[in-house]
Amino acid sequence: MIIYKTDEEIKKMREAGRLCAKLLDQVAKFIKIGISTEEINTLVNDFALIHNAIPATLNYNGFPKSVCTSINNVVCHGIPSPNEILKDGDIINVDVTLILNGYFGDSSRTFLVGNVSEQARLLVERTEKAMYKGIEAIGPGKMLFEVGKAIETYLKPFHYGIVREYGGHGVGRSFHEDPHVFHFFTMDNKIKLRKGMTFTVEPMINQGRSHKVITSRQDGWTVTTADKSLSAQFEHTVVVTDNGYEILTVD
Protein backbone atom coordinates (compact mmCIF):
# COMPACT_ATOMS: atom_id res chain seq x y z
CA MET A 1 0.00 0.00 0.00
CA ILE A 2 1.43 3.36 -1.06
CA ILE A 3 1.39 5.98 1.70
CA TYR A 4 0.83 9.51 0.38
CA LYS A 5 2.50 12.13 2.55
CA THR A 6 0.95 15.35 3.79
CA ASP A 7 2.73 18.68 3.50
CA GLU A 8 3.68 18.45 7.17
CA GLU A 9 5.14 14.99 6.69
CA ILE A 10 7.08 16.12 3.63
CA LYS A 11 8.50 18.98 5.69
CA LYS A 12 9.81 16.46 8.24
CA MET A 13 11.21 14.25 5.49
CA ARG A 14 12.92 17.30 3.98
CA GLU A 15 14.62 17.96 7.31
CA ALA A 16 15.81 14.35 7.52
CA GLY A 17 16.94 14.46 3.91
CA ARG A 18 18.92 17.65 4.37
CA LEU A 19 20.69 16.10 7.30
CA CYS A 20 21.67 13.14 5.10
CA ALA A 21 23.09 15.54 2.53
CA LYS A 22 25.12 17.34 5.18
CA LEU A 23 26.41 14.02 6.45
CA LEU A 24 27.51 12.91 2.98
CA ASP A 25 29.25 16.27 2.53
CA GLN A 26 31.23 15.47 5.68
CA VAL A 27 32.00 11.98 4.39
CA ALA A 28 33.26 13.48 1.13
CA LYS A 29 35.83 15.53 3.07
CA PHE A 30 36.86 12.47 5.07
CA ILE A 31 37.39 9.96 2.25
CA LYS A 32 41.09 9.44 1.51
CA ILE A 33 43.70 6.74 1.05
CA GLY A 34 44.50 4.91 4.27
CA ILE A 35 41.29 5.30 6.26
CA SER A 36 39.21 2.29 7.24
CA THR A 37 35.53 1.80 6.59
CA GLU A 38 35.15 1.47 10.36
CA GLU A 39 36.31 5.08 10.65
CA ILE A 40 33.57 6.08 8.20
CA ASN A 41 31.08 4.20 10.37
CA THR A 42 32.26 6.10 13.45
CA LEU A 43 31.90 9.42 11.63
CA VAL A 44 28.35 8.56 10.56
CA ASN A 45 27.30 7.30 13.99
CA ASP A 46 28.75 10.32 15.81
CA PHE A 47 27.18 12.76 13.32
CA ALA A 48 23.77 11.18 13.82
CA LEU A 49 23.99 11.33 17.60
CA ILE A 50 25.19 14.94 17.61
CA HIS A 51 22.20 15.93 15.47
CA ASN A 52 19.63 13.99 17.53
CA ALA A 53 19.11 11.50 14.72
CA ILE A 54 19.24 7.71 14.59
CA PRO A 55 21.37 5.77 12.09
CA ALA A 56 18.66 3.60 10.58
CA THR A 57 20.81 0.67 9.43
CA LEU A 58 22.18 -0.09 12.91
CA ASN A 59 20.55 -3.37 13.99
CA TYR A 60 18.09 -3.19 11.07
CA ASN A 61 17.24 -6.84 10.46
CA GLY A 62 20.51 -7.64 12.19
CA PHE A 63 22.77 -5.33 10.18
CA PRO A 64 25.64 -4.57 12.60
CA LYS A 65 26.74 -1.06 11.59
CA SER A 66 25.46 2.50 11.18
CA VAL A 67 26.22 2.81 7.46
CA CYS A 68 26.79 0.67 4.36
CA THR A 69 30.25 1.00 2.78
CA SER A 70 30.58 -0.79 -0.56
CA ILE A 71 34.00 -0.85 -2.22
CA ASN A 72 34.78 -1.65 -5.88
CA ASN A 73 32.91 -4.86 -6.81
CA VAL A 74 30.63 -4.66 -3.74
CA VAL A 75 27.24 -3.60 -5.06
CA CYS A 76 25.54 -2.77 -1.76
CA HIS A 77 25.25 -3.60 1.96
CA GLY A 78 29.00 -3.61 2.57
CA ILE A 79 29.74 -3.88 6.30
CA PRO A 80 32.31 -1.42 7.73
CA SER A 81 35.42 -3.01 9.21
CA PRO A 82 38.65 -1.77 10.83
CA ASN A 83 40.48 -4.17 8.51
CA GLU A 84 39.07 -2.69 5.31
CA ILE A 85 41.40 0.14 4.30
CA LEU A 86 40.81 2.47 1.34
CA LYS A 87 43.50 2.21 -1.34
CA ASP A 88 44.54 4.39 -4.22
CA GLY A 89 42.21 3.74 -7.16
CA ASP A 90 39.25 2.43 -5.13
CA ILE A 91 35.67 3.56 -5.55
CA ILE A 92 33.38 3.40 -2.53
CA ASN A 93 29.65 3.87 -2.13
CA VAL A 94 28.57 5.27 1.23
CA ASP A 95 24.85 4.74 1.86
CA VAL A 96 23.38 6.70 4.77
CA THR A 97 19.89 6.55 6.22
CA LEU A 98 18.93 8.76 9.15
CA ILE A 99 15.77 8.88 11.24
CA LEU A 100 14.95 12.39 12.40
CA ASN A 101 11.77 13.15 14.36
CA GLY A 102 10.28 9.85 13.25
CA TYR A 103 10.92 10.24 9.50
CA PHE A 104 13.58 8.72 7.28
CA GLY A 105 16.07 10.31 4.92
CA ASP A 106 17.95 7.97 2.59
CA SER A 107 20.81 8.87 0.25
CA SER A 108 24.10 7.55 -1.09
CA ARG A 109 27.07 8.64 -3.17
CA THR A 110 29.99 6.83 -4.75
CA PHE A 111 33.36 8.46 -4.08
CA LEU A 112 36.68 8.20 -5.92
CA VAL A 113 39.75 7.39 -3.83
CA GLY A 114 43.02 8.84 -5.11
CA ASN A 115 43.82 8.24 -8.76
CA VAL A 116 41.16 5.99 -10.22
CA SER A 117 41.14 4.48 -13.68
CA GLU A 118 39.33 6.26 -16.49
CA GLN A 119 36.87 3.37 -16.71
CA ALA A 120 36.05 3.64 -13.01
CA ARG A 121 35.63 7.41 -13.21
CA LEU A 122 33.26 7.11 -16.17
CA LEU A 123 31.23 4.40 -14.43
CA VAL A 124 30.75 6.65 -11.39
CA GLU A 125 29.90 9.74 -13.43
CA ARG A 126 27.45 7.87 -15.65
CA THR A 127 25.77 6.20 -12.69
CA GLU A 128 25.14 9.57 -11.07
CA LYS A 129 23.78 10.95 -14.34
CA ALA A 130 21.58 7.87 -14.74
CA MET A 131 20.05 8.55 -11.33
CA TYR A 132 19.21 12.11 -12.36
CA LYS A 133 17.77 10.91 -15.68
CA GLY A 134 15.44 8.68 -13.68
CA ILE A 135 14.47 11.49 -11.33
CA GLU A 136 13.75 13.84 -14.23
CA ALA A 137 11.13 11.36 -15.48
CA ILE A 138 9.04 11.85 -12.31
CA GLY A 139 5.84 13.87 -12.29
CA PRO A 140 2.15 13.59 -11.36
CA GLY A 141 0.19 11.51 -13.85
CA LYS A 142 3.29 9.81 -15.24
CA MET A 143 4.00 6.12 -14.75
CA LEU A 144 6.65 4.87 -12.35
CA PHE A 145 8.12 2.66 -15.09
CA GLU A 146 9.28 5.84 -16.84
CA VAL A 147 11.97 6.15 -14.17
CA GLY A 148 13.51 2.80 -15.08
CA LYS A 149 13.01 3.42 -18.79
CA ALA A 150 14.92 6.71 -18.63
CA ILE A 151 17.79 5.08 -16.74
CA GLU A 152 17.96 2.12 -19.10
CA THR A 153 17.82 4.32 -22.20
CA TYR A 154 20.64 6.54 -21.00
CA LEU A 155 22.92 3.63 -20.04
CA LYS A 156 22.29 1.42 -23.07
CA PRO A 157 25.21 2.76 -25.19
CA PHE A 158 27.71 1.97 -22.41
CA HIS A 159 26.81 -1.74 -22.14
CA TYR A 160 26.67 -1.71 -18.35
CA GLY A 161 24.65 -4.13 -16.25
CA ILE A 162 21.72 -2.67 -14.28
CA VAL A 163 21.25 -4.62 -11.05
CA ARG A 164 17.78 -6.19 -10.99
CA GLU A 165 17.68 -7.84 -7.58
CA TYR A 166 17.67 -4.51 -5.74
CA GLY A 167 15.97 -1.20 -6.43
CA GLY A 168 14.52 1.92 -4.95
CA HIS A 169 11.62 1.92 -2.51
CA GLY A 170 9.00 4.00 -0.84
CA VAL A 171 10.22 5.70 2.31
CA GLY A 172 8.80 7.96 5.00
CA ARG A 173 7.66 6.83 8.41
CA SER A 174 9.26 3.47 7.62
CA PHE A 175 12.61 2.56 6.09
CA HIS A 176 11.02 0.55 3.27
CA GLU A 177 7.52 1.23 2.00
CA ASP A 178 5.68 0.60 -1.26
CA PRO A 179 6.32 0.96 -4.14
CA HIS A 180 9.41 -0.93 -5.25
CA VAL A 181 11.28 1.13 -7.85
CA PHE A 182 12.93 -0.79 -10.68
CA HIS A 183 15.83 0.88 -12.48
CA PHE A 184 15.06 -0.74 -15.82
CA PHE A 185 11.87 -0.77 -17.86
CA THR A 186 9.25 -3.20 -16.61
CA MET A 187 5.46 -3.14 -16.56
CA ASP A 188 5.71 -4.26 -12.93
CA ASN A 189 6.10 -0.53 -12.30
CA LYS A 190 2.87 0.38 -14.09
CA ILE A 191 1.93 2.66 -11.21
CA LYS A 192 0.58 6.16 -11.74
CA LEU A 193 2.54 8.78 -9.85
CA ARG A 194 0.56 11.08 -7.57
CA LYS A 195 1.40 14.07 -5.43
CA GLY A 196 2.70 13.02 -2.03
CA MET A 197 4.41 9.81 -3.13
CA THR A 198 7.90 9.57 -1.63
CA PHE A 199 10.49 7.05 -2.78
CA THR A 200 14.15 6.59 -3.55
CA VAL A 201 15.85 6.45 -6.95
CA GLU A 202 19.10 4.53 -6.48
CA PRO A 203 20.43 2.71 -9.55
CA MET A 204 23.19 0.17 -8.93
CA ILE A 205 25.24 -0.13 -12.10
CA ASN A 206 27.83 -2.81 -12.88
CA GLN A 207 30.75 -2.10 -15.16
CA GLY A 208 30.45 -5.50 -16.76
CA ARG A 209 27.51 -6.37 -19.00
CA SER A 210 26.15 -8.72 -16.36
CA HIS A 211 23.51 -7.52 -13.92
CA LYS A 212 23.95 -10.61 -11.77
CA VAL A 213 25.02 -10.34 -8.14
CA ILE A 214 25.95 -12.68 -5.28
CA THR A 215 25.11 -12.30 -1.59
CA SER A 216 27.79 -13.41 0.86
CA ARG A 217 27.02 -16.65 2.65
CA GLN A 218 29.41 -15.63 5.43
CA ASP A 219 27.73 -12.45 6.62
CA GLY A 220 24.42 -12.65 4.76
CA TRP A 221 24.64 -9.00 3.72
CA THR A 222 27.52 -8.13 1.39
CA VAL A 223 26.36 -8.16 -2.24
CA THR A 224 29.02 -8.37 -4.97
CA THR A 225 29.01 -8.50 -8.76
CA ALA A 226 28.99 -12.07 -10.06
CA ASP A 227 31.74 -11.27 -12.59
CA LYS A 228 33.83 -9.26 -10.07
CA SER A 229 33.44 -6.07 -12.12
CA LEU A 230 33.16 -2.65 -10.45
CA SER A 231 29.77 -1.38 -9.32
CA ALA A 232 28.61 2.15 -8.54
CA GLN A 233 25.47 3.64 -7.02
CA PHE A 234 23.89 7.01 -6.26
CA GLU A 235 20.66 7.61 -4.38
CA HIS A 236 18.24 10.40 -3.59
CA THR A 237 14.89 10.48 -1.83
CA VAL A 238 12.25 12.32 -3.88
CA VAL A 239 8.64 13.42 -3.54
CA VAL A 240 6.11 13.82 -6.34
CA THR A 241 4.81 17.41 -6.36
CA ASP A 242 1.99 19.26 -8.13
CA ASN A 243 4.25 20.09 -11.07
CA GLY A 244 6.97 17.44 -11.02
CA TYR A 245 9.28 16.37 -8.23
CA GLU A 246 11.45 17.62 -5.39
CA ILE A 247 14.70 15.99 -4.27
CA LEU A 248 14.53 15.84 -0.49
CA THR A 249 18.11 14.70 0.18
CA VAL A 250 19.86 17.95 -0.74
CA ASP A 251 21.20 20.66 1.55
200: in domain: yes
Domain count of the fold of the chain? 1
1: in domain: no
3-class secondary-structure state, position 169: strand
Which phi and psi angles does 141 have, rounded to 5°? 90, -15
Conformation bin of residue 242: beta by default, left when phi > 0, alpha when psi is -120 to 50? alpha
pLDDT value of residue 1: 95
pLDDT value of residue 235: 98
Q: Tens of pLDDT along 141-163?
A: 999 999 999 999 999 999 999 99
Q: Tens of pLDDT along 10-69?
A: 999 999 999 999 999 999 999 999 999 999 999 999 999 999 999 999 999 999 999 999
2: in domain: no
CATH of the domain at 143: 3.90.230.10
Q: Tens of pLDDT along 120-141?
A: 999 999 999 999 999 999 999 9
28: in domain: yes
Please list, residue by residue across 174-205, b when 16 or more beta carbons sit within 10 angstroms of its beta carbon and e when fewer do.
Answer: ebebebbbbbbbeeebebebebbbbbbbbbbb
195 lies in which domain range?
7-247
51: in domain: yes
Burial of 52 (0-12, 13-18, 19+ CB in 10 A): exposed
